[in-house]
Chain A
Amino acid sequence: MVAYPAGLSHLPHQGLWLPSSVHPGAMVYAFLIHTLRAPQAQDMGLCRVLYSCVFGAENSPDDPRPHGAERDRLLRKEQILAVARQVESMCRLQQQASGRTPMDLQPQSSDEPVPLHEAPVGAFRLAAGDPFQEVRTVVWLGVLSLGFALVLDPHENLLLAEGTLRLLVRLLLDHLRLLTPSANLLLRADRIEGILARFLPHGQLLFLNDQFVQGLEKEFSAAWPR
């Protein structure tokens, strides 16, 4: 392993030294939850990011101007919003193409589980520089008025990512009761964080078999009784 001199790691383009193709990382870059507007209500309101978590940020640009940190944060927020918007439109296009309305997914009563395997799901690629420095893949899942997305490094095991996203959505729906009208995920960030810390720690996709999932879920339920 070559330890580069300390100064080098601060070069604006670290990729110059370690091109991204050398690191087909097995990590998730970000997870987000956002709104999906109904197709007929598109001009009402905006696509809102309701929760987002970036696991280990991309390197900040060397920006000598004042308020660099603020601009950097603004950029990250805009990047996440750009992903949310794109997921929203992909989800809408897919749903329209299948001739279904989002309401077809609605369970008859709130006790009934949402048929997640029927929820619209998909993936698309984001080119380098738009909006992230590096190429990323987005895997998304839409449930009624909520969109869930994982932003991945390319070459990630997509099957595992898809499975993990389904698992996260299932857990969030169950433990935050997201589908009951009064539920509000905006003030329950601790639960979301608790679920992510266990099932997607630092953006690491985990190969969890059913018993491991149950074990972690029990541990979570003990810390956050429903």
Chain B
Amino acid sequence: MFTAGAEGLLHQARGIQDEELQKFCSRVVKLLQKEELGPDAVDALQRLFLIVSATKYKRKLEKTCVDLLQTTLCAPKCPEQLQLLCTAILRERSPSDDLNLSCDHVQNSRQLSLVASVLLAQGDKKEEVRSVGQRAFRVLESRQPEGPSLRHLLPVVSKVTHLAPHTLHEDQTNLLSKRLVDWLRYASVQQGVPHTSGGFFSAPRARQPGPVTEVDGAVATDFFTVLSTGQHFTEDQWLNVQAFSMLRAWLLHSSPRGPSSPDTDDKSELEGSTLSVLSATSTASHLLPPQERLREKAFEYCQRLIEQSTRRALRKGDSDLQKACLVEAVLLLDVLCRQDPSFLYRTLSCLKALHARLCGDPARVRALLPIAQFFLNHGEAAAVDSEAILQHLFTRIPCELFHSPMLAFEFVCFCRDSLPVFGRNLDILRRSFPNLFKLLAWNSPALTSEFVALLPSLVDSGTAVEMLHALLDLPCLTAALDLQLRLSPAAAERPLWDVSLRNPSCLEASRDPQFQGLLQHLLRATASGTTERLAPLHQLLQPLASLTRVVQCAEAVPTLLQAFFSAVTQFADGALSNQLALLLLERSDSLYQVPQYEAHVHRVLSSQFLVLCARHPSLVVELAKELLEFVGSVSSVHSRETMLTAVVWAVGEYLSVSWDRRCTVEQINRFFEALEALLFEVTQSRPSATLPKCPPRVITVLMTTLTKLASRSQDLIPRVSLFLSKMRSLAQNPAPSSDRCGEDAGAVCTRAAELLTLLKMPSVAQFVLTPSAEVSEPRYHRDTNTALPLALRTVSRLVEKEAGLLLG
């Protein structure tokens, strides 16, 4: 537990001054120089470690102290405790320039392991990785495989291979591959002998230790693997564990061809052609080159693991290991088949059987992901249809196990990483988005960034509308999942739902058939192609809207919407844009009521509405009827300020013949009247306690849009001028009851004055307020002789003059 005492200690370690530290170092030096290193030395080194590690800044240690730490670390008789502390201190100081540790003469593999952990932390500025690697192989070459402590060496080799695979020579690679074959395939099948200390009770036993057993207690039927067990283990059994643990990485690093990307065409051709000519049996494998032989043995090992994982483990730890081994075996088989397609035929039958077995075993569901990965990678080459496997995975797993954070993460990573190999199965992934969203709705903090990356591949023109509905309903889905868990008959020993809320009132009501249909729609597994109005469900689930999980999900939605729209706007045509724009308007007042949710979503929706309009300006003319309806409802001003502002602005920008020839004077007049009425209503209505005052942004945008429309239908100019001067005087002399503050009124007044001035010269007004598309060309802004700068200068002079008059 982290207590105040510990916090104090940490502060002390950080605050220690150089002088004090120097004194402490001399004490450490004295202690380390003693013949017998006792508990004092341990205690001092523990403190030194804390001092060095507790700060992110460099600690100056005396050179003698650093040197002594290095010699102590390398002293053969030094107790492990002290060696580890010296290693940890030196490693914590890395990278450091004053290190003169070298592994060149280290013979002992355990010591090499200690030195390596310091050297490998140096950042490879002086080729430390190469020298550690070379030394490790020297030790490996000098010993018999059954040498007593090679197991300390293998992790070092593994790390070096990982950090700098190119530093190994071919003969070294071959040597290790040969050794790995021995350790993997030919470890002893007899149990090890216990190391007796010769104490009183441990009289040397004469009887043989007996054979190793399987995890279910039966005598082992075949060669030793990590799933073989016994009371004690021999050295080569330890090495078997090490060898298997590093096998996948080693195969990938040491393969002469290197793992090719799974979706290259030449490879699948290769697989197809070799598949038919190669027989299923392995022939005289001892004659094969070391790499191929290792692959052969790795294949046998995987098959044995898959067989061993059917056994019923007596211990929980072993049962967990069985699951991890299954995953590893499938991942290994994938690597093997990528490196040598002749394994494909044998692997397929084995994995098909495994898949069938795992489908009925919920505890081992995580192994289904690498299996699906395998079929995605090799399905085409092996002429096997992976559709059924994917179908099962996507329709069943997310809805059953969305509440497992690890599975959810792994599932989404699988989707994201496998995107390049989905090929014609991409459709299955796309149609499963409602199920994938369950993972997201339940685990939004960890998965939002993954979905931001995944969404562009998930959405297409066929699913865009349905997906947008689903994204907007995501917090509601979270609530529905919580409800589903509460209602599920198989109550887990530990409730999976939010336990802080007991017995919400909607529990019983949700059984009502009218909600059942809607709930089923919300909780569907695949895209249905239809949309339902979920408003009744929003009300039903309202008691769950305050759940933290729902609020968390609601916070993620704006980010997801941004990602959705930036993907959709890439391909959306006019028809889809119209559909989406309508959906935005419609859904803006039909959202699940989560605190702050509506305001945040409106901000995204309004900006995306403008993006859609900018990409397809005809939208405004085509949706004229719906937009008129939208602005016609004054009640929306307060709840939908941002949406309304965007729509009004878009009308002013795009309701023009220059954008769409179908735009008529009648249309402009109709919008003018509607907006005029709206402006009148929001400015004339007295602010009251129930109705907050109208924000100045809405007023100025309304005035601007009215002016724009008037400049296009010039009969309207007198009307709008009259209105604007009224607005100006209203803003200058606010009614005493009005609480409109000066700044707001000032903004409205300035805008009204500007627009009035503009309208005095209708042709300039039209040019400024409805610029042609050419205006966005750079020429118009650079060349002073073109019309735009000229017009702008004229206008600004006029405005300045008018403003001067106002002030004077």
Question: A residues near B, CB below 8 A?
Answer: 1-4, 6, 9, 17-18, 21-27, 35, 45, 48, 50-60, 69-70, 72-74, 77-78, 81, 89-90, 93-94, 96-100, 118, 121-125, 127, 137, 139, 144-146, 153-155, 157-160, 162-163, 178-190, 193-194, 197, 201-213, 215, 223-224
What residues of B have a CB within 8 angstroms of the CB of A21 in the complex?
261
Bound complex: CA A187 to CA B45 (Å): 9
Query: Beyond the given A184-B5, A223-B80, could you list 8 further A-B residue pairs with CB under 8 A, ordered by the A residue number?
Result: A51-B53, A54-B91, A56-B121, A72-B95, A154-B417, A159-B327, A210-B318, A213-B317
* B256 contacts across to A, CB distance below 8 A: 1
Q: Are A209 and B227 in contact (CB under 8 A)?
A: yes
Across the interface, which residues of B come within 8 angstroms of A144, CB to CB? 1
Q: Chain A residues with Cβ under 8 A from B169's Cβ?
A: 1, 3
- The answer to whether the Cβ of B124 comes within 8 Å of any Cβ in the partner chain is yes
- Closest-by-CB residue of B relative to A120 is B405
The verdict on A69 contacting B96 (CB below 8 Å), with A187-B50, A208-B321 known, is yes
- Which of B93, B170, B231, B548 has the most A CB atoms < 10 Å from its CB? B548
Complex CA gap A48/B6 in Å reads 11
Query: Whole-angstrom distance from the CB of A181 to the nearest CB of chain B?
Result: 6
Q: In the complex, what residues of A have CB within 8 A of residue B3's CB?
A: 181, 184
Residue B287 lies at the interface, judged by CB distance under 8 Å to chain A = no
Chain B nearest Cβ from A170, distance in angstroms: 10
- In the assembled complex, which residues on chain A have CB atoms less than 8 Å from the CB atom of B155? 201-204
Q: Which are the 6 A-B pairs with shortest beta-carbon distances?
A: A60-B123, A99-B500, A77-B56, A99-B498, A97-B549, A201-B155
- Would you call A2 and B246 a contact (CB within 8 A)? no
Contact B446 A122 (CB under 8 A): yes
Which residues does chain A contribute within 8 Å of B120, judged by CB atoms?
55-57, 202
- Cβ–Cβ contact B498 & A94, under 8 A: no
What is the bound-complex CA distance between A48 and B165, given in angstroms? 35
Chain B, range 285-341, C-beta contacts under 8 Å to A = 315, 317-318, 320-321, 323-325, 327-328, 331
Give the nearest-CB partner of B367 in chain A. Answer: A159
Count class of interface residues, chain B:
35 or more
> A58 to B123, Cβ gap below 8 A?
yes
Report the bound CA distance from A188 to B88 in whole Å. Answer: 12
| Residue in B9, B166, B170, B258 with the greatest tally of chain A CB atoms within 10 Å | B166
B151 nearest in chain A by CB position: A201
Report the separation of the CA atoms of residues A180 and B2 in the bound assembly, to the nearest whole angstrom. Answer: 10
CB distance from A216 to the nearest CB of B (A): 10
Q: B259: CB under 8 A from chain A?
A: yes
A162 to B366, CA, bound (A): 12
Q: Given the known inter-chain contacts A94-B445, A211-B231, please indicate yes or no for A159 contacting B164, CB distance below 8 A.
A: no
Residues from chain A with Cβ under 8 Å of B318 in the complex: 209-210
Please determine whether B258 and A160 come into contact, CB atoms closer than 8 angstroms: no
Evaluate whether A74 and B56 lie within 8 angstroms (CB atoms) in the complex, with A160-B324, A186-B6, A202-B117 already known.
yes
Q: Are A4 and B445 in contact (CB-based, < 8 A)?
A: no
Chain A binder among B237-245, B344-352, B604-612, B626-634? B237-245
Let me know if B406 and A123 touch, CB within 8 A.
yes
Assess the A202–B113 pair: CB atoms within 8 A: yes
Distance from A218 Cβ to chain B, minimum over Cβ atoms (Å): 10
The answer on a CB contact under 8 Å between B366 and A159 is: yes
CA distance A93 to B555 in the complex (A): 12
The answer to the question of B130 belonging to the interface, with a C-beta cut-off of 8 Å to chain A, is yes
State whether A2 touches B229 (Cβ < 8 A): no
Cβ of B324 and Cβ of A3 under 8 Å apart? no
Q: Which of B80, B122, B252, B321 contacts A23 (CB 8 A)?
A: B252
Q: Which of B389-427 contact A (CB under 8 A)?
A: 405-406, 409-410, 413, 417
Query: Which residue from chain B places its CB closest to the CB of A25 in the assembled complex?
Result: B162
Q: B87 within 8 Å of A by Cβ?
A: yes
Known: A125-B449, A207-B324. A190 touches B85 (CB 8 A): yes
Known: A194-B80, A212-B241, A213-B317. A1 touches B173 (CB 8 A): yes
Who on chain A is nearest to B110 by CB?
Answer: A197
CB distance from A48 to the nearest CB of B (A): 6
Contact A118 B95 (CB under 8 A): no
State whether the Cβ of B179 lies closer than 8 Å to any Cβ in chain A. no
Distance (Å) between the CB of B327 and the closest chain A CB?
5
Are B121 and A207 in touch, CB under 8 angstroms? Answer: no
The smallest C-beta distance from B486 to any residue of chain A, in angstroms, reads 12
Closest residue of chain B to A167 (Cβ to Cβ) is B317
Closest Cβ–Cβ distance, residue A54 to chain B (whole Å): 6
Q: Does B97 contact A (CB under 8 A)?
A: yes
Bound state CA distance, A159 and B414, in angstroms?
A: 14
| Cα distance A57–B159 in the bound complex, in angstroms | 10
Contact between A122 and B95 (Cβ–Cβ < 8 Å)? no
* B170-199 interface bits toward A, Cβ cutoff 8 Å, 1 = contact, 0 = none: 100100000000000000000000000000
A189→B95 CA distance, assembly (Å): 20
- Chain B residues lying within 8 Å of A56, measured Cβ to Cβ, are 120-121, 129, 159, 162-163
Interchain CB contact under 8 A, A1 and B166: yes
Chain A residues lying within 8 Å of B231, measured Cβ to Cβ, are: 211
Q: Which residues of A contact B494 (CB under 8 A)?
A: 118
The verdict on B596 contacting chain A, using a C-beta distance below 8 Å, is: no
CA of A127 to CA of B413, assembled, Å:
13
13 contacts between A and B (CB under 8 A): A35-B2, A73-B56, A73-B94, A94-B445, A97-B548, A122-B406, A153-B162, A163-B321, A184-B3, A202-B155, A207-B226, A208-B241, A224-B81
B121 and A54 within 8 A (CB): yes
Q: Which of A22, A206, A209 contacts B215 (CB 8 A)?
A: A209
Are B449 and A59 in touch, CB under 8 angstroms?
Answer: no
| Complex Cα spacing A202 to B152, Å | 10
For residue B499, CB closer than 8 A to chain A, the reply is yes
- A26-B246, A122-B406, A208-B321 are known contacts. Are A202 and B159 too (CB-CB below 8 A)? yes
Tell me, rounded to whole Å, the shortest Cβ–Cβ distance linking B227 to chain A.
6
The reply on B167 being an interface residue by CB < 8 A is yes
Q: Mark B523-561, 1 if CB is under 8 A from A, else 0.
A: 000000000000000000000000111001000000000
Establish whether residues B406 and A157, one from each chain, have CB atoms under 8 Å apart when the complex forms: no
Are A60's CB and B327's CB within 8 A?
no
What CA separation (Å) do A201 and B130 show in the bound complex? 19
The complex places the Cα of A183 from the Cα of B9 at a distance, in Å, of: 13
> Which of these, A54, A153, A210, contacts B229 with CB under 8 Å?
A210
Residue from B85, B163, B232, B318 having most chain A Cβ neighbours under 10 A: B163
Give chain B nearest CB distance to A136 CB in angstroms. Answer: 12
Chain B residues in 8 Å Cβ range of A139: 406
Q: How far is the CA of A96 from the CA of B219 in the complex (A)?
A: 48
Across the interface, B254 reaches (CB within 8 A) one of A1, A162, A181, namely A1
B170 touches A186 (CB 8 A): no
B124–A60 CB distance below 8 A: yes
Contact (A60, B158) CB under 8 Å given A96-B548, A190-B46, A193-B85: no
Q: Is the CB of B97 within 8 A of A53?
A: no
Tell me, yes or no, whether B674 is within 8 Å of chain A by CB: no
Q: Is B245 touching A205 in the complex (CB atoms < 8 A)? A: yes
B456 at the A interface (CB under 8 A): no
